[in-house]
Structure 1
């Protein structure tokens, strides 16, 4: 546990990507099994404990720390794990700190009633950094600036194995990844995932630049519409049916209608949508089904799932990824015509003869509720990752509104001392005719570190009320907010929900009363 705590601590305070990679690679090289496997699982969100740790922590602290002191300290520090680790009464205990593997396996095997005693014993045997790492591990909220892909890149750096090969076997394995580490260390062959319904790394696109657009040769490329859903991979092998998100998360439980329609022996790439009467529903409708473990019969009927297919990666035992896109596309069309699986169709190919023709199609995308265009080389193989020069995305230009800062909340990790999460609103008229602000979105990125310091200072000097870690701010600061689209939402007071809002510019110069009205947003809704 001591080595894992040191790793997390250094990752949290290391901004450099290359330095983070070296820290992880050194840890994987030196840590024993199965500790390093559980550490890898923690860094890649592969550990999930079905235990209400936050409630358990609160109950344990009641007898050890004054609750008022804890609330004040939590508000100041901005992070629950760090607060508990600092406030936990130190005990002189000669017992060595627990091993990471011992902690994980004990929690997985323990009855819920046994957890508080186990936790208290571990916390007593750890220093402040160890306690912090333990709590981060158990709550699953590491927040040390490491993505799953970065952790796997560190494995590649340490072992010398290509990242694509690691990705290929990754989703057929489970913590503590003994077979994976044996292969990476050169002590065993690669894990065998053939014939299993496992996730295959997706091929991704690059946002096209003007100079690249002018260099496109129509004879070498085809275009497809970029639909406003989520990228998925559907697999049916060995009697297993799975639907994966673009990051490899298994979302089959939320879309049984889609999964059950899959014929045996296929891996498909496509866009997950909600479809009604042959028309693509707004993205907000799809969100109603995402992140659910199960879905009700009424939801299946009112929000029917659908995959618009882009590519065919495996047919039977044949791996098609090395074939040119045109050949895979022909195989996809023939396969779909033979099987006609429910809840699927094939995305249309758009042939074009000139860039000006393509620009006209792109310009009309917003009116049809489409995100933009995809451009794909006809001879492109299916290459995991984001290879240059093969696939391009040409998204429609973002929409903009001016919104007023309403609330601010402390961030996490490196931002735990700053008010960095911002809720902003638009004006609407009340029954008396007076204008009021209603929240329309929330964002925590789109500004520099220096601007963050300025915004934090503004929040502190213009706070009019506070609700725990959240501050209500005097309505004086305007954000220029960029977003992809806006949809109706019964869950929000304003009646709208913005898709992917981000702060484009801070309008220090603009009076708040000149910010946009709610009618501006509702007028942008495409039903």
Structure 2
């Protein structure tokens, strides 16, 4: 357990991506099986400890610490595992003595998997008495599955690739057919065995990504070389079906099938589609007309697309009610065909894949699958005009793809570009601040901001968005001090900040889009808001009004 605890501590305190990769590679090299495989599964969130839940851990604290004092401590620290690890009093058997290194990681996982919900918390209590604060923190992160340590599953797979000197795409394609603790995988990475044969049907294929189109490359965009299509504002997914098995993956390879049964029911094809998951308005009338093959833009099914706010109602849900399935049905707008009837099409040029996609999609249920239409243009100036005024509110820009490009995992420069719309800017006033997580848990780093509404002589602020990035570490310290110096009310980890015409912090907010929202008092919701700059120089009274945002909607 000590090696795992040291790894978690180091990853939490290491900000750089390359530094985290080195730590993971060193851990894989120094630890035996199954310890390293279980550590990997914990970091990639592929361990599910069912015998212990966060509420049980809070209950344990009632016998060890005054609940009010614990509440204040949790409020200050902002992370349950970190709070318990710091305040947990040692048991009498270890008082005055150095805490032991505790059990091995494999022993913890084995015993918890064999325990029920009555036995699990007792095991955790015993180990908490044995471990030091670092070990307690790692144990609690393990059992809760809340690995907010700045390491994504994708980064962990890259570390595996670096460790074994392999291509990360190979690991991603194998991943969903591997079993914890990945002993076959490590044997291959260390050249002790052949490459594992993926047992998974309908596996994930690593996605091809685009690079932003910037001015030096404007001149290479010609209609004879690059196809253009709209960039839809949903979530990128991959729909894979093979031998009666169907799976829906996020762009990072996470299996999200369970959250979208209304799409899964219609994945009866044999192949793999790359596309955008979107919500259809329930009043939509579908034409059901098949797409037209060829380089000419195939007509998408007549589906009225909902906003990203509509799609958010379907995201991160373990179960979906019948009412939600009816009011927010999803569909897939296809961009590409990667596999058809067991044949890998990725080496083919985009033009040929597009032809085959049109024919493939024509056989699918038109209320659940359509094709993102190609955009006709003759010159770069035509594209620029289309980008400025897209025909749909759920379009956030253009995608440009070389007709001769193969589907290559990763982000190669040149074959695919994304040309997003320029962000919108408004000046808003800071209203509320909340503590962050991880290394930001001691700072107020999540900010709710608002704009003015009401009569000019009696204005009031209404919230229009929330942002937690876009500022430097030095600016974070400045805002944190401002929040502490100007707090007027407290609501648990949230602070209400003094904000009035004569006094307030103005934040220039950049955002990608705006939509109407009945859930917000202001009636609007921002898409991807971020702090663009701090306007220490600007009086709060000069921040924008709600009418400015409403005009953007109109």
C-alpha distance 257-359 of structure 1, shift in aligned 2 (>3 A) = same
Aligned mates of 2:121, 2:490 — CA distance in 1: 32
Asked if structure 2 preserves the Cα contact closer than 8 Å seen for 1:441 and 1:498, the reply is: yes
Asked if structure 1 preserves the Cα contact closer than 8 Å seen for 2:433 and 2:445, the reply is: yes
Matches within 5 A, 1:390-401: 390-401=415-426
Query: Is 1:355 aligned to residue 383 of structure 2?
Result: no
Partner of residue 504 from structure 1, selected from 527, 532, 544 = 532
Alignment gaps of 5+ in structure 2 = 286-302
Query: Is 1:199 aligned to residue 199 of structure 2?
Result: no
Stretch deviating more after TM superposition (332-341 or 307-316) = 332-341
| TM-superposed deviation, 1:53 | 2.8
Partner of 1:333, secondary structure, is helix
Corresponding residue of 1:406: 431
C-alpha distance 368-417 of structure 1, shift in aligned 2 (>3 A) = closer
Aligned mates of 1:75, 1:317 — CA distance in 2: 53
Query: Is 1:148 aligned to residue 153 of structure 2?
Result: yes
| TM-superposed deviation, 1:368 | 4.7
Partner of 1:264, secondary structure, is coil
Aligned mates of 2:486, 2:150 — CA distance in 1: 30
Corresponding residue of 2:474: 450
Query: Is 1:435 aligned to residue 435 of structure 2?
Result: no
Matches within 5 A, 1:289-438: 289-339=314-364, 342-365=367-390, 368-429=393-454, 434-438=458-462
Corresponding residue of 2:549: 521
Q: Deviations over 1:121-156 (max 9, x none)?
A: 111111111001111222222222222221111111
| TM-superposed deviation, 1:274 | 1.5
Q: Structure 1 length as normaliser, TM-score?
A: 0.95
Aligned mates of 2:57, 2:441 — CA distance in 1: 20
Corresponding residue of 1:57: 57
Partner of 1:498, secondary structure, is strand
Corresponding residue of 1:185: 190
Partner of residue 494 from structure 1, selected from 522, 529, 533 = 522
Matches within 5 A, 1:73-92: 73-91=73-91, 92=93
| TM-superposed deviation, 1:340 | 5.2
| TM-superposed deviation, 1:117 | 0.8
Q: Deviations over 1:400-430 (max 9, x none)?
A: 2211111111112211221111111122228
Aligned residues: 525
C-alpha distance 191-221 of structure 1, shift in aligned 2 (>3 A) = same
Partner of 1:218, secondary structure, is coil
Q: Deviations over 1:367-420 (max 9, x none)?
A: 654211000011111011111111111011111221111111111221122111
Please give the root-mean-square deviation of Cα atoms over the aligned residues, in Å. Answer: 2.1
Partner of 1:263, secondary structure, is coil
C-alpha distance 338-467 of structure 1, shift in aligned 2 (>3 A) = closer
Stretch deviating more after TM superposition (486-495 or 114-123) = 486-495
Corresponding residue of 1:485: 513
Asked if structure 1 preserves the Cα contact closer than 8 Å seen for 2:244 and 2:268, the reply is: no
Aligned mates of 2:200, 2:144 — CA distance in 1: 35
| TM-superposed deviation, 1:492 | 2.9
Asked if structure 2 preserves the Cα contact closer than 8 Å seen for 1:35 and 1:101, the reply is: yes
Q: Deviations over 1:299-353 (max 9, x none)?
A: 3332221111111111111111111111111111122234555411111122322
Corresponding residue of 1:224: 229
Corresponding residue of 1:31: 31
Aligned mates of 2:23, 2:317 — CA distance in 1: 35
Partner of 1:64, secondary structure, is coil
Corresponding residue of 1:66: 66
Q: Deviations over 1:234-281 (max 9, x none)?
A: 111121111112122222223222222223321001111122332212
Asked if structure 1 preserves the Cα contact closer than 8 Å seen for 2:308 and 2:394, the reply is: no
Corresponding residue of 1:462: 486
| TM-superposed deviation, 1:457 | 1.0
C-alpha distance 76-292 of structure 1, shift in aligned 2 (>3 A) = closer
Stretch deviating more after TM superposition (286-295 or 45-54) = 45-54
Asked if structure 1 preserves the Cα contact closer than 8 Å seen for 2:428 and 2:451, the reply is: yes
Aligned mates of 1:294, 1:67 — CA distance in 2: 33
Asked if structure 1 preserves the Cα contact closer than 8 Å seen for 2:76 and 2:442, the reply is: yes
Corresponding residue of 2:173: 168
| TM-superposed deviation, 1:455 | 0.6
| TM-superposed deviation, 1:102 | 1.9
C-alpha distance 368-291 of structure 1, shift in aligned 2 (>3 A) = closer
Partner of residue 132 from structure 2, selected from 124, 127, 136 = 127
Aligned mates of 1:197, 1:369 — CA distance in 2: 30
Asked if structure 1 preserves the Cα contact closer than 8 Å seen for 2:172 and 2:253, the reply is: no
Q: Structure 2 length as normaliser, TM-score?
A: 0.90
Q: Deviations over 1:157-193 (max 9, x none)?
A: 1111111111111122242222222221222222223
Partner of residue 271 from structure 1, selected from 267, 276, 284 = 276
Aligned mates of 1:253, 1:24 — CA distance in 2: 30
C-alpha distance 104-525 of structure 1, shift in aligned 2 (>3 A) = farther
Query: Is 1:258 aligned to residue 263 of structure 2?
Result: yes
C-alpha distance 209-67 of structure 1, shift in aligned 2 (>3 A) = same
Alignment gaps of 5+ in structure 1 = none
C-alpha distance 341-266 of structure 1, shift in aligned 2 (>3 A) = farther
Aligned mates of 1:77, 1:253 — CA distance in 2: 34
